Amino acid sequence: MSSSTPEPKRPQLRLRPASLAARWARALHDGFFNGAAYAMPTYFGTSPNRVDPESVWHFATCERTIPSQAFIDHWPPAPMRRRIMDRFLSQSHAEGIEYHYDVSNDFYALFLDRDYMFYTCADFHAPTDTIEQAQRQKADYIMALLDPKPGERIIELGCGWGAMLKHIATAIGDGSNLSGLTLSRDQFDYIGSQMGFAVELADLITHDYGTATYDKIYAIGALEHVRPDSILPLFQRLHAALKPGGWMVQHFFSLNGTDPVPTSMIAAQAYFPGSILSLHGDIRAKAERAGFRITHDSEHDYRPTLRAWFDRLVENRHKAEAIVGVQVVNKYLVYFASSWRFFDLRQASLHRLVLMKD
Protein backbone atom coordinates (compact mmCIF):
# COMPACT_ATOMS: atom_id res chain seq x y z
CA MET A 1 0.00 0.00 0.00
CA SER A 2 2.97 2.28 -0.24
CA SER A 3 2.80 5.43 -2.29
CA SER A 4 5.42 7.08 -4.45
CA THR A 5 5.94 9.89 -1.94
CA PRO A 6 5.59 9.74 1.84
CA GLU A 7 2.44 11.19 3.35
CA PRO A 8 2.91 14.49 5.18
CA LYS A 9 3.85 14.31 8.82
CA ARG A 10 1.07 15.12 11.27
CA PRO A 11 2.44 17.88 13.55
CA GLN A 12 -0.19 17.19 16.22
CA LEU A 13 1.02 13.60 16.53
CA ARG A 14 4.74 14.30 16.65
CA LEU A 15 6.52 14.50 19.96
CA ARG A 16 8.84 17.40 20.57
CA PRO A 17 12.45 16.29 21.27
CA ALA A 18 13.71 17.25 24.72
CA SER A 19 16.99 17.28 26.62
CA LEU A 20 17.79 14.46 29.01
CA ALA A 21 17.19 16.72 32.01
CA ALA A 22 13.79 17.81 30.67
CA ARG A 23 12.83 14.21 29.92
CA TRP A 24 13.70 13.12 33.46
CA ALA A 25 11.78 16.03 34.93
CA ARG A 26 8.74 15.16 32.81
CA ALA A 27 9.05 11.46 33.70
CA LEU A 28 9.14 12.23 37.42
CA HIS A 29 6.15 14.53 37.10
CA ASP A 30 4.15 12.02 35.03
CA GLY A 31 5.23 9.14 37.25
CA PHE A 32 3.99 10.89 40.39
CA PHE A 33 0.68 12.11 39.01
CA ASN A 34 -0.18 9.38 36.47
CA GLY A 35 2.00 6.39 37.31
CA ALA A 36 5.28 4.90 36.10
CA ALA A 37 3.80 3.13 33.07
CA TYR A 38 2.35 6.42 31.79
CA ALA A 39 5.70 8.17 32.11
CA MET A 40 7.62 5.62 30.02
CA PRO A 41 6.35 6.42 26.47
CA THR A 42 6.91 10.15 26.91
CA TYR A 43 10.40 9.63 28.29
CA PHE A 44 11.49 7.47 25.36
CA GLY A 45 9.31 9.20 22.79
CA THR A 46 10.81 12.64 23.35
CA SER A 47 14.38 11.44 22.97
CA PRO A 48 16.14 13.47 20.27
CA ASN A 49 17.90 10.28 19.22
CA ARG A 50 16.87 6.77 18.28
CA VAL A 51 16.28 4.51 21.23
CA ASP A 52 18.02 1.14 21.23
CA PRO A 53 15.29 -1.40 20.40
CA GLU A 54 16.54 -4.26 22.53
CA SER A 55 17.11 -1.94 25.50
CA VAL A 56 13.53 -0.70 25.17
CA TRP A 57 12.21 -4.25 24.87
CA HIS A 58 14.14 -5.41 27.91
CA PHE A 59 13.18 -2.37 29.98
CA ALA A 60 9.48 -2.75 29.20
CA THR A 61 9.16 -6.54 29.40
CA CYS A 62 11.64 -7.69 32.06
CA GLU A 63 10.48 -9.29 35.29
CA ARG A 64 10.30 -6.74 38.09
CA THR A 65 10.97 -7.32 41.72
CA ILE A 66 7.82 -7.85 43.75
CA PRO A 67 8.00 -4.39 45.39
CA SER A 68 8.63 -2.56 42.10
CA GLN A 69 5.80 -4.40 40.31
CA ALA A 70 3.49 -3.68 43.23
CA PHE A 71 4.35 0.02 42.95
CA ILE A 72 3.63 0.01 39.20
CA ASP A 73 0.32 -1.80 39.77
CA HIS A 74 -0.92 0.31 42.69
CA TRP A 75 0.34 3.86 42.16
CA PRO A 76 -1.59 6.07 41.86
CA PRO A 77 -3.99 4.60 44.48
CA ALA A 78 -7.52 3.65 43.43
CA PRO A 79 -9.39 6.85 44.44
CA MET A 80 -6.78 8.96 42.68
CA ARG A 81 -6.93 6.72 39.57
CA ARG A 82 -10.66 7.29 39.25
CA ARG A 83 -10.21 11.06 39.31
CA ILE A 84 -7.39 10.85 36.76
CA MET A 85 -9.48 8.69 34.44
CA ASP A 86 -12.45 11.04 34.76
CA ARG A 87 -10.18 13.78 33.45
CA PHE A 88 -8.92 11.69 30.55
CA LEU A 89 -12.41 10.48 29.68
CA SER A 90 -13.70 14.03 29.47
CA GLN A 91 -12.22 14.12 25.97
CA SER A 92 -13.84 12.49 22.98
CA HIS A 93 -12.83 8.90 22.34
CA ALA A 94 -13.26 9.67 18.64
CA GLU A 95 -10.44 12.20 18.81
CA GLY A 96 -8.31 9.60 20.54
CA ILE A 97 -8.90 7.12 17.74
CA GLU A 98 -7.87 9.72 15.17
CA TYR A 99 -4.81 10.51 17.31
CA HIS A 100 -3.64 6.90 17.18
CA TYR A 101 -4.70 5.72 13.73
CA ASP A 102 -4.27 8.84 11.61
CA VAL A 103 -0.49 8.94 11.91
CA SER A 104 0.11 7.77 8.33
CA ASN A 105 -1.12 4.84 6.26
CA ASP A 106 2.39 4.44 4.87
CA PHE A 107 3.80 4.24 8.40
CA TYR A 108 1.47 1.40 9.38
CA ALA A 109 2.23 -0.44 6.15
CA LEU A 110 5.86 -0.73 7.28
CA PHE A 111 5.12 -3.07 10.21
CA LEU A 112 1.70 -4.63 9.60
CA ASP A 113 1.19 -7.72 7.44
CA ARG A 114 1.55 -7.03 3.73
CA ASP A 115 -1.54 -8.93 2.61
CA TYR A 116 -4.31 -7.26 4.62
CA MET A 117 -2.82 -4.70 7.04
CA PHE A 118 -4.60 -6.14 10.07
CA TYR A 119 -3.88 -4.04 13.15
CA THR A 120 -5.27 -6.65 15.53
CA CYS A 121 -4.12 -9.87 17.19
CA ALA A 122 -3.04 -12.63 14.80
CA ASP A 123 -3.08 -16.41 15.30
CA PHE A 124 0.43 -17.84 15.38
CA HIS A 125 0.18 -21.63 15.16
CA ALA A 126 3.95 -22.16 15.16
CA PRO A 127 7.03 -20.08 16.05
CA THR A 128 8.03 -20.12 12.37
CA ASP A 129 4.78 -18.51 11.19
CA THR A 130 5.18 -15.13 9.53
CA ILE A 131 2.89 -12.26 10.46
CA GLU A 132 1.23 -12.75 7.05
CA GLN A 133 0.46 -16.41 7.80
CA ALA A 134 -0.74 -15.61 11.30
CA GLN A 135 -3.08 -12.86 10.18
CA ARG A 136 -4.59 -15.06 7.50
CA GLN A 137 -5.13 -17.77 10.13
CA LYS A 138 -6.87 -15.19 12.32
CA ALA A 139 -9.06 -14.09 9.43
CA ASP A 140 -9.99 -17.70 8.67
CA TYR A 141 -10.88 -18.30 12.33
CA ILE A 142 -13.20 -15.29 12.42
CA MET A 143 -14.61 -16.27 9.02
CA ALA A 144 -15.57 -19.67 10.44
CA LEU A 145 -17.32 -18.00 13.39
CA LEU A 146 -19.15 -15.54 11.13
CA ASP A 147 -20.01 -18.12 8.42
CA PRO A 148 -20.95 -15.47 5.82
CA LYS A 149 -23.14 -16.35 2.85
CA PRO A 150 -23.62 -14.53 -0.50
CA GLY A 151 -26.46 -12.05 -0.30
CA GLU A 152 -26.33 -11.60 3.48
CA ARG A 153 -26.20 -8.06 4.81
CA ILE A 154 -23.10 -7.84 6.99
CA ILE A 155 -21.57 -4.81 8.69
CA GLU A 156 -18.15 -4.45 10.31
CA LEU A 157 -17.81 -2.08 13.25
CA GLY A 158 -14.44 -0.33 13.10
CA CYS A 159 -13.32 -1.74 9.77
CA GLY A 160 -9.68 -0.60 9.77
CA TRP A 161 -8.21 -0.64 6.27
CA GLY A 162 -10.89 -3.02 5.00
CA ALA A 163 -8.90 -6.21 5.60
CA MET A 164 -11.74 -8.44 6.77
CA LEU A 165 -14.23 -6.99 4.31
CA LYS A 166 -11.79 -7.95 1.56
CA HIS A 167 -11.30 -11.43 3.02
CA ILE A 168 -15.05 -12.08 3.21
CA ALA A 169 -15.79 -10.72 -0.26
CA THR A 170 -13.05 -12.90 -1.76
CA ALA A 171 -14.29 -16.01 0.04
CA ILE A 172 -17.98 -15.71 -0.85
CA GLY A 173 -17.55 -13.96 -4.19
CA ASP A 174 -19.87 -11.14 -3.19
CA GLY A 175 -19.06 -7.77 -1.65
CA SER A 176 -22.21 -5.90 -2.60
CA ASN A 177 -23.91 -6.30 0.78
CA LEU A 178 -20.82 -5.71 2.93
CA SER A 179 -20.43 -2.41 4.76
CA GLY A 180 -18.36 -0.88 7.51
CA LEU A 181 -17.89 1.98 9.94
CA THR A 182 -14.68 3.79 10.87
CA LEU A 183 -13.67 6.94 12.71
CA SER A 184 -10.28 7.17 11.01
CA ARG A 185 -10.21 9.55 8.05
CA ASP A 186 -7.07 7.90 6.67
CA GLN A 187 -8.72 4.48 6.75
CA PHE A 188 -11.97 5.83 5.29
CA ASP A 189 -10.12 7.46 2.39
CA TYR A 190 -8.06 4.34 1.73
CA ILE A 191 -11.05 1.97 1.62
CA GLY A 192 -12.97 4.33 -0.63
CA SER A 193 -10.13 4.75 -3.09
CA GLN A 194 -8.65 1.24 -3.04
CA MET A 195 -11.48 -1.18 -2.24
CA GLY A 196 -14.86 0.35 -3.03
CA PHE A 197 -16.79 -1.05 -0.06
CA ALA A 198 -19.69 0.95 1.38
CA VAL A 199 -17.98 2.46 4.41
CA GLU A 200 -19.19 5.37 6.51
CA LEU A 201 -17.11 7.77 8.55
CA ALA A 202 -19.23 7.33 11.66
CA ASP A 203 -19.07 6.53 15.37
CA LEU A 204 -20.14 2.93 15.96
CA ILE A 205 -21.45 3.89 19.41
CA THR A 206 -23.98 6.46 18.19
CA HIS A 207 -24.69 5.11 14.71
CA ASP A 208 -28.31 4.31 13.77
CA TYR A 209 -28.32 0.63 12.74
CA GLY A 210 -32.06 0.36 12.18
CA THR A 211 -34.21 -2.63 13.15
CA ALA A 212 -33.74 -6.17 11.78
CA THR A 213 -31.33 -4.74 9.23
CA TYR A 214 -28.41 -7.17 9.25
CA ASP A 215 -27.88 -10.90 9.02
CA LYS A 216 -24.46 -10.70 10.68
CA ILE A 217 -22.46 -8.07 12.56
CA TYR A 218 -18.82 -8.31 13.52
CA ALA A 219 -16.04 -6.23 15.04
CA ILE A 220 -12.30 -6.89 15.22
CA GLY A 221 -10.58 -4.70 17.79
CA ALA A 222 -13.36 -2.10 18.09
CA LEU A 223 -14.99 -2.94 21.43
CA GLU A 224 -11.82 -1.75 23.20
CA HIS A 225 -12.80 1.81 22.26
CA VAL A 226 -16.31 1.56 23.72
CA ARG A 227 -16.41 2.85 27.27
CA PRO A 228 -17.96 0.59 29.93
CA ASP A 229 -21.10 2.72 30.34
CA SER A 230 -21.76 2.50 26.59
CA ILE A 231 -21.43 -1.29 26.25
CA LEU A 232 -24.99 -2.21 27.28
CA PRO A 233 -26.84 0.39 25.17
CA LEU A 234 -24.63 -0.48 22.20
CA PHE A 235 -25.35 -4.20 22.59
CA GLN A 236 -29.06 -3.45 22.87
CA ARG A 237 -29.03 -1.47 19.62
CA LEU A 238 -26.98 -4.14 17.84
CA HIS A 239 -29.34 -6.85 19.08
CA ALA A 240 -32.25 -4.88 17.61
CA ALA A 241 -30.33 -4.38 14.34
CA LEU A 242 -29.91 -8.13 13.77
CA LYS A 243 -32.54 -10.21 12.04
CA PRO A 244 -33.94 -13.11 14.11
CA GLY A 245 -31.47 -15.98 13.98
CA GLY A 246 -28.57 -13.65 13.16
CA TRP A 247 -25.44 -13.30 15.23
CA MET A 248 -22.55 -11.04 16.07
CA VAL A 249 -18.83 -11.87 16.33
CA GLN A 250 -16.68 -9.73 18.61
CA HIS A 251 -12.86 -9.96 18.66
CA PHE A 252 -11.46 -7.77 21.46
CA PHE A 253 -9.32 -7.68 24.55
CA SER A 254 -10.73 -6.95 27.98
CA LEU A 255 -9.54 -6.61 31.55
CA ASN A 256 -9.11 -9.60 33.82
CA GLY A 257 -9.74 -9.36 37.54
CA THR A 258 -12.20 -7.08 39.31
CA ASP A 259 -10.56 -3.63 39.28
CA PRO A 260 -12.32 -1.47 36.65
CA VAL A 261 -9.61 1.21 36.74
CA PRO A 262 -6.17 -0.45 37.02
CA THR A 263 -3.03 1.62 36.51
CA SER A 264 -2.67 0.11 33.03
CA MET A 265 -5.71 2.12 31.90
CA ILE A 266 -3.97 5.37 32.83
CA ALA A 267 -0.87 4.25 30.94
CA ALA A 268 -3.06 3.50 27.90
CA GLN A 269 -3.99 7.19 27.66
CA ALA A 270 -0.52 7.86 26.22
CA TYR A 271 -1.57 5.84 23.17
CA PHE A 272 -5.38 5.87 23.06
CA PRO A 273 -6.53 9.01 24.88
CA GLY A 274 -10.16 8.82 25.91
CA SER A 275 -10.47 5.01 25.76
CA ILE A 276 -10.77 2.53 28.63
CA LEU A 277 -11.25 -1.22 28.61
CA SER A 278 -14.10 -3.10 30.28
CA LEU A 279 -13.89 -6.09 32.60
CA HIS A 280 -14.51 -9.29 30.66
CA GLY A 281 -17.14 -10.53 33.07
CA ASP A 282 -19.05 -7.27 32.69
CA ILE A 283 -19.02 -7.56 28.88
CA ARG A 284 -20.47 -11.07 29.03
CA ALA A 285 -23.13 -10.00 31.52
CA LYS A 286 -24.15 -6.99 29.43
CA ALA A 287 -24.33 -9.09 26.25
CA GLU A 288 -26.75 -11.47 27.95
CA ARG A 289 -28.74 -8.60 29.45
CA ALA A 290 -29.13 -7.14 25.94
CA GLY A 291 -30.76 -10.39 24.83
CA PHE A 292 -27.83 -12.27 23.28
CA ARG A 293 -27.01 -15.90 23.90
CA ILE A 294 -23.25 -16.49 24.12
CA THR A 295 -22.35 -19.54 22.02
CA HIS A 296 -18.57 -19.11 21.84
CA ASP A 297 -15.89 -17.48 24.00
CA SER A 298 -12.29 -18.31 23.14
CA GLU A 299 -9.05 -16.79 24.43
CA HIS A 300 -5.99 -16.06 22.25
CA ASP A 301 -2.39 -14.92 22.75
CA TYR A 302 -1.58 -11.38 21.61
CA ARG A 303 2.12 -11.49 22.52
CA PRO A 304 3.55 -13.04 19.31
CA THR A 305 1.76 -10.40 17.22
CA LEU A 306 3.18 -7.54 19.27
CA ARG A 307 6.70 -8.92 19.00
CA ALA A 308 6.29 -9.36 15.23
CA TRP A 309 5.19 -5.73 14.82
CA PHE A 310 8.07 -4.57 17.00
CA ASP A 311 10.62 -6.51 14.93
CA ARG A 312 9.21 -5.35 11.62
CA LEU A 313 9.18 -1.70 12.73
CA VAL A 314 12.83 -2.03 13.75
CA GLU A 315 13.58 -3.60 10.37
CA ASN A 316 11.96 -0.65 8.56
CA ARG A 317 13.04 2.02 10.98
CA HIS A 318 14.74 4.33 8.48
CA LYS A 319 11.65 4.44 6.25
CA ALA A 320 9.37 4.96 9.25
CA GLU A 321 11.44 7.86 10.55
CA ALA A 322 11.27 9.54 7.15
CA ILE A 323 7.48 9.48 7.40
CA VAL A 324 6.68 10.22 11.06
CA GLY A 325 9.98 11.18 12.68
CA VAL A 326 12.28 9.57 15.24
CA GLN A 327 10.09 10.39 18.24
CA VAL A 328 6.94 8.66 16.96
CA VAL A 329 8.94 5.56 16.02
CA ASN A 330 10.46 5.52 19.49
CA LYS A 331 7.01 5.79 21.06
CA TYR A 332 5.58 2.92 19.03
CA LEU A 333 8.48 0.68 19.96
CA VAL A 334 7.65 1.36 23.61
CA TYR A 335 3.97 0.79 22.88
CA PHE A 336 4.51 -2.68 21.41
CA ALA A 337 6.90 -3.73 24.16
CA SER A 338 4.79 -2.43 27.05
CA SER A 339 1.66 -3.99 25.52
CA TRP A 340 3.48 -7.34 25.38
CA ARG A 341 4.14 -7.03 29.11
CA PHE A 342 0.50 -6.04 29.73
CA PHE A 343 -0.69 -9.34 28.25
CA ASP A 344 2.18 -11.35 29.72
CA LEU A 345 1.07 -10.26 33.20
CA ARG A 346 -2.46 -11.38 32.24
CA GLN A 347 -3.84 -7.99 33.11
CA ALA A 348 -5.98 -8.44 30.00
CA SER A 349 -6.82 -11.20 27.54
CA LEU A 350 -7.85 -11.36 23.89
CA HIS A 351 -11.29 -12.95 23.41
CA ARG A 352 -13.59 -13.89 20.56
CA LEU A 353 -17.29 -14.00 21.33
CA VAL A 354 -20.20 -15.22 19.24
CA LEU A 355 -23.45 -13.58 20.35
CA MET A 356 -26.65 -15.14 18.99
CA LYS A 357 -30.03 -13.50 18.54
CA ASP A 358 -32.66 -16.22 18.88
Mean pLDDT in each 10-residue stretch from start to end of the chain (358 residues)?
40 68 93 93 89 96 95 94 93 68 84 93 97 98 98 95 94 94 86 85 95 98 94 98 98 97 94 92 98 98 98 98 92 95 98 98
CA angle in degrees (0–180, nearest 5) for 263-349-117: 105
From CA 231, how far away is CA 275, in angstroms rounded?
13
What are the residue ranges spanned by the domains of the chain? 131-302+346-356
State the distance between the two ends of the chain, measured CA to CA, in whole angstroms: 41
- pLDDT attached to residue 10: 44
- pLDDT attached to residue 82: 94
From CA 188, how far away is CA 180, in angstroms rounded?
10
- pLDDT attached to residue 6: 39
- Residues 149-172 as b or e (16 or more Cβ within 10 Å = b): eeebbbbbbbbbbbbbbbbbbeeb
- pLDDT attached to residue 14: 54
- pLDDT attached to residue 9: 42
From CA 95, how far away is CA 190, in angstroms rounded?
19
- pLDDT attached to residue 101: 62
- pLDDT attached to residue 96: 64
Tell me the CATH class for 131-302+346-356. Answer: alpha beta
Sequence-separated (6 or more) residues with CB below 8 Å from residue 17: 46, 47, 48, 326, 327
